[in-house]
Amino acid sequence: MSHSEDGLRPEEFSEAAEAAIQDALSRAAEDLPGTLAAAGLLGVCATQADGGLGLDLDFAVPLAQASGRLRLRFALAEQMLLARHLAGTAFAAPLAQGQTLATIAWQGQRDDGWVGHARRAQDARWLLVRHVQGAVLLDVLNAPQKTETTLDPENPQTWLDVRQCPVLAELGADATAALWREGAVLMAATAHGAADAALTAAATHTATRVQFDRPLSARQAVRHWLSRMKLYHEAGGAAIARALERNEWGSPREPLPALMLNLQYATFIIEKAIHLHGGMGFTWEVPLHHALREVRKIDAAWGGGGLPQSVGQRFIQTCKG
Amino acid sequence: MPTETNLPAGRENYRSYARTWLSAHLPQHMRADSLDYRSPTLEESRQWEAAMYKAGLAGMTWPTAYGGHGLSLREHLAVNKEIGALSMPESVSSIGKELAGPIIMTVGTEAQKQAFLPAILNMENYWCQGFSEPDAGSDLARLRTRAVPQGDGWCINGQKIWTSGAAKAHYCLLLTRTGTVADKHRGMLMFAVPMNTPGIRVVPIKSIDGKESFAEVFFDNVLVPDEARLGAPDEGWSAAVRVLSIERATNRMYRAWRFESELGFLVRACQSDAQLAHLLDDGHYQRRIGQVVGEIDGLKGLVERTVSQLMQGDEIGARGSLTKLYWSECHQAFAGLAQSIVSQVTPASSPLAQRAQQAFTQAYLFSRAETIYAGTSEVQLDLIAQRILRLPRE
């Protein structure tokens, strides 16, 4: 983990960020971007010239975790990344300051026509989408939209026809690869945060819910489920921390294994948390279903079951003499 | 103290030095992924580990006064990463280096430290661990082996089981009790018992992999001097807990990197053979391999986090249970995958595939022990529930 110039550590920044997100969640939806921006969250990794804090990616990780933990309905990771990677353009400052909302289509190419798998695309004015070897930032104000509400009726997946959208900026192949690498880390962190909240909720509920004269978590079967959830949560967090560090040759580490683990483990933890809540877990009274829907959407955006195969193929390739 | 070379300063320098030295000196026949591999003899293993020590690659964190290098866990981890990256044999003295040594350093007298610690590092003495008993496997509070004061020393009677390396060990790190089983965790006493003491009988046990790597050890009126006692009476249980927490958190720190090396060997063996190479084009196996890659990453992260926390002065506590449980379950699953792949090897397969068949079939069989030894998976889950999640019992 790094420090900022004034000695601030990511975990310390995280506490303030969590409070800021709590504050934003208590306000009207239209005030949310401004509140997050005022707390420095949207521009945490943007340059100071763009109104950001100029901090490293490891400062964005706890923010993404907090957004997952608090079920923030805002594409925080994407906004932070775009404000960082569009540095030097006219688009970074409005993103860092929360004046314009943007998101990223993690799958699909501009030439595909319809692209999706972009969180909160329905709220975004700008959309980054892959194009040829790099990516383009599009103005999607007038793009035709289709929404898919089956998985998440309150926060649906949105598809946009981007064929006629004006191009605002372009990113080269290397810049796009770097953005996608960091995106994988922040999506892993978002899922990890969602799992954290689910684990805490399950541990709290089973410690207080008395059945057959004992708290549920006094039963070995329940204790072992919770321990396994904790195990996977710790392993996922450790993988994220590792993905942030450079390898011994100074190169960035491959983040897809960390993303793969965290999507699998977050799904497992949230599903088990729902199970351990019994009938209540199956209802809208307990917010676990929101977390499950969000993690499933991130998983879909990054290829669903295709991630392990992609990671496996890359490893096999590295073994070829 | 090692004198062979001037040891480098700094973590990354140490890692680079370790990589260079190990790859230059590890005999080809000791590399499990080599076509020249053959199982090393005890003497060959002893010589190899003694050479590693002289080269500054063992006893990293031990004080220089006792033969160590006085370095930090960071250098220890750096060296372990390189040890793991090569398919070298497991240490024949891991109980001494990773269990007996640390506990002697914690509760031993100065004379015991001087007598035992350098001899462990330079491979003069091997140790075994006399903890488990027929009625006290996971639950050490039920152990029955008794130590009774007699003259200036102690008389020990009882039986140990699952004692790894007992047949070759010079000393036993022996856990006994001075009272009765009803005392549970009270009254436990630990000893360093020479294995050639009259009254000790070792009966090898044949394990699932066909080897006799562990044994039953019987203690019939074994007389030891008081100087063999490690720690004060009643300190035995806390010492045992300390040993077990060390065992789970820091032992065999190379395992994540060895795991990666094994996966690489498996893939290369497949690539060397036309028939097995087709499996690597199969999405099922690609996904399984991808899963293992992710788990190795998680495991490396857990190990590095533990080192980082220890460097900051944090207690290990029950966090070692996370690493032990995660490694054992992930590695066991990998061993099953590897065995299913190498089961397709035929006499017409490539030589490397045939070498992999031998190695991974053995690894699969041995892996069944991984969720049992050093605390079963269920024990680890209990520890996580109790000490990390702090779930109520009532």
Q: Where are the domains of chain A?
A: 1-99, 101-171, 175-314
Q: pLDDT, tens digit, for every residue of A2-14? A: 556 566 788 778 8
Instruction: Say whether A308 and B388 touch across the interface (CB within 8 A).
Output: no
Reference B132, options B375, B370, B318, B368; nearest CA is B375
| Contacts of B35-41 spanning 24+ positions with Cβ under 8 A | B35/B351, B35/B352, B35/B355, B37/B355, B37/B359, B40/B89
A160 and A125 Cβ atoms separated by less than 8 Å: no
Q: Are strands A145-148 and A157-161 parallel, antiparallel or unpaired?
A: antiparallel
Residue B221 to chain A, least CA–CA distance (Å): 41
Is the pLDDT reported for residue B10 higher than 70?
A: no
Q: Report in angstroms the alpha-carbon separations of A202 from A18, A208, A279, B39.
A: 21, 10, 13, 49
pLDDT tens column, A62-117:
999 999 999 999 999 999 999 999 999 999 999 999 999 999 999 999 999 899 99
Q: Are the C-beta atoms of residues B108 and B243 closer than 8 Å to each other?
A: no
Average pLDDT over residues B320-346: 96
pLDDT, tens digit, for every residue of B109-150? 999 999 999 999 999 999 999 999 998 877 778 899 999 999
Residues of B in contact with A224 (CB under 8 A): 378, 381-382, 385
Q: Which two tokens stand for residue A78?
A: 């994407």
Contacts of A319 in chain B (CB under 8 A): 264, 267-268, 271
Give yes or no for A266 touching B (CB within 8 A). no
- Per-residue confidence (pLDDT) for residue B8, from 0 to 100: 66
What separation in angstroms does the CA of B8 have from each of B21, B75, B200, B231, B251? 12, 10, 44, 36, 24
How far apart are the two ends of chain B, measured CA to CA in Å?
Answer: 53
pLDDT at B248: 66
Q: Are B130 and B163 in contact (CB under 8 A)?
A: yes
Which one, of B213, B218, B194, lies nearest residue B133 by Cα?
Answer: B218
Q: Is the pLDDT of residue A190 over 80?
A: yes
Q: Among A209, A220, A242, pick the best mutation site for testing chain B contact (most B Cβ within 10 A).
A: A242
B297 contact residues in A (CB cutoff 8 A) = 239, 242-243, 257-258, 261
Quote the DSSP letter at residue B387: I
Residue A1 has pLDDT above 50, yes or no: no
Q: Does A207 touch chain B (CB under 8 A)?
A: yes
Average pLDDT over residues B78-104: 93
Q: Are A71 and A291 in contact (CB under 8 A)?
A: yes
Phi-psi group of B313: left, alpha or beta (phi > 0 → left; psi -120 to 50 → alpha; rest → beta): left
Nearest CA in chain A to B386: A223
Tell me the shortest Cα–Cα distance from A128 to chain B, in angstroms.
Answer: 28
The reported pLDDT for the residue numbered B139 is 78
At A4 the pLDDT is 60
Q: How far is B315 from chain A (nearest CA, A)?
A: 17
Nearest CA among A222, A301, A311, A211 for reference residue A261: A311
Q: Are B364 and B338 in contact (CB under 8 A)?
A: yes
Instruction: Decide if A1-99 and A175-314 have a common fold.
Output: no
Mean pLDDT of chain A: 94
Beta carbons of A87 and A69 less than 8 angstroms apart: no
- Residue B38: predicted pLDDT: 95
Closest CA to A154 of A307, A13, A290: A290
Which pLDDT score, from 0 to 100, does residue B142 have? 87
The CB-side HSE value for A203 (13 A sphere, CA atoms) comes to: 21
Using a CB-CB distance cutoff of 8 angstroms, which residues of chain A are in contact with residue B299? Answer: 235
Reported confidence tier of residue B7, pLDDT bands at 50, 70, 90? low
Cβ contact A311–B391 (<8 Å): no
State the pairing for strand pair B214-225/B200-205: antiparallel
Tell whether domain A1-99 is in CATH 1.10.540.10. Answer: yes
Q: Which chain B residue has the Cα nearest residue A261?
A: B294
Q: Contact at 8 Å (CB) between B138 and B184?
A: no
Contacts B283 to A, Cβ<8 Å: 309
Question: Per-residue pLDDT for B6 more than 70?
Answer: no
Half-sphere exposure of B155 (CA within 13 A, CB side): 6
Nearest to B59 by CA among B50, B51, B68: B68
Quote the CA–CA distance of B372 and B198 in Å, as a whole number.
31
Contact B285, A227 (CB under 8 A): no
Q: How far is B273 from chain A (nearest CA, A)?
A: 13
Report, as an integer, the average pLDDT of B181-185: 78
CB contact under 8 A, A248 and B295: no
Q: Please classify residue A128 by burial: count the beta carbons closer than 10 Å to its beta carbon, then call 0-12 exposed, 13-18 middle and 19+ buried.
A: buried
Instruction: Place B202 in a pLDDT band, splitting at 50, 70 and 90.
Output: very high
Nearest by CB to residue A316, choosing from B267, B325, B382, is B267
Chain B contact for A320, CB < 8 A? yes
Do A315 and B267 lie within an 8 Å CB cutoff? yes
Phi and psi at residue B347, to the nearest 5°: -60, -20
Please answer yes or no on whether A237 and B382 come within 8 Å at the CB atom: no
Residue of A nearest to B279 (CA): A316
CATH number of the domain located at residue range(s) A175-314 in this protein: 1.20.140.10
Residue B227 neighbours by CB distance under 10 Å: 13
pLDDT tens, residue by residue, B342-394: 999 999 999 999 999 999 999 999 999 999 988 899 999 999 999 999 999 88
Residue of B20, B286, B297 for testing the chain A interface, max A β-carbons within 10 Å: B297
Distance from CA of A86 to the nearest CA of B (A): 30
**Using the beta-carbon criterion (under 8 Å), do B391 and A228 form an inter-chain contact?**
no
Closest among A61, A121, A51 to A87, alpha carbons compared: A51
Give CA–CA dist B385/B378, Å, rounded: 11
- Shortest Cα distance from B266 to chain A (angstroms)? 10
Residue type present at position B213? S
Minimal CA separation from B5 to chain A, in Å: 24
Given strand A114-115, what is the order of strands in its sheet? Answer: A114-115, A157-161, A145-148
Backbone angles phi, psi at B140, to 5 degrees: -70, -20
Helix (H) or strand (E) holding A217: none
User: Residue A245's pLDDT is what?
Assistant: 93
Q: Cβ contact (<8 Å) for A217 and B392?
A: yes
Q: Do A258 and B326 touch (CB under 8 A)?
A: no
Q: Give the per-residue pLDDT at B213.
A: 82
Residue A253 has pLDDT above 50, yes or no: yes
Q: With DSSP H G I counted as helix, E B as strand and the rest as coil, what are the percentages for chain B, rounded to 5?
A: 50, 15, 35
At residue B323's C-alpha, the angle toward residues A262 and B245, to 5°, is 150
Mean pLDDT, to the nearest integer, of B250-277?
A: 95
- Going along chain B from its start, the domains and CATH numbers come out as 11-89 (1.10.540.10), 127-233 (2.40.110.10), 254-388 (1.20.140.10)
pTM for the full predicted model = 0.93
State the average pLDDT over residues A198-210: 97
In the structure encoding, which two tokens stand for residue B205, read together?
């046990």
- Residues of A with Cβ-Cβ distance to B388 under 8 angstroms: 227, 230
Question: Which three-class secondary structure state does DSSP give residue B87?
Answer: coil
CB burial of A42-67 (b: ≥16 within 10 Å; e: otherwise) equals bbbbbbeebbbbbbbbbbbbbbbbbb
Surface of A (218-237) touching B: CB under 8 A: 218, 220, 223-224, 226-228, 230-231, 234-237
